[in-house]
Amino acid sequence: MAGRGRVARPVYRLAAVSAAAGALLAGGMTGVPAAAEPMGRYVVVLEESARGRLDTVVAQHGRDHGARAGHRYRHALVGYAAEIPESEVAALRATEGVRAVAPDELVRATQQELPA
């Protein structure tokens, strides 16, 4: 029973858990940029040598550059689509084994009339 001037232990535990959860949500304890940092959607194209270890490379880029990968490309090219902090795009482009980092945008084919 908590007496006058004393706080019960469960309250301390709740405060500690709340503080840790807040730090994790803010990105303070994970090494990943805070949620307020602008993210962009990109397609990352890798060297052919990454074909057999794509998941390992994607995980490493997540740790090093905060990339949150979605779809992985394994056939026509080797790479992945991801949300990447804008501040990390240049560093990711300079990473060994990365051929290109391009904005993930909708592209439409247009009709062209050829001369007869």
d(CA 46, CA 27): 27
Least confident interval from 15-29, 46-60, 64-78? 15-29
Residue 66's SS3 state is: coil
Instruction: Look at residue 15 in the predicted model and tell me its pLDDT.
Output: 46
pLDDT tens digits along 34-61? 557 899 999 999 999 999 999 999 999 9
Q: Which residue has the higher pLDDT, 9 or 106?
A: 106
The answer to whether 74 touches 53, Cβ cutoff 8 Å, is no
Residue ranges of domains in the chain: 1-30, 39-103
The contacts of residue 102 (CB under 8 Å, 6+ apart) are 42, 43, 45
**Would the pLDDT of 24 be above 70?**
no
CATH 1.10.3470 assigned to domain 39-103? The reply is no
66: phi then psi, degrees, rounded to nearest 5: 75, 20
**Would the pLDDT of 115 be above 60?**
yes
The contacts of residue 64 (CB under 8 Å, 6+ apart) are 95
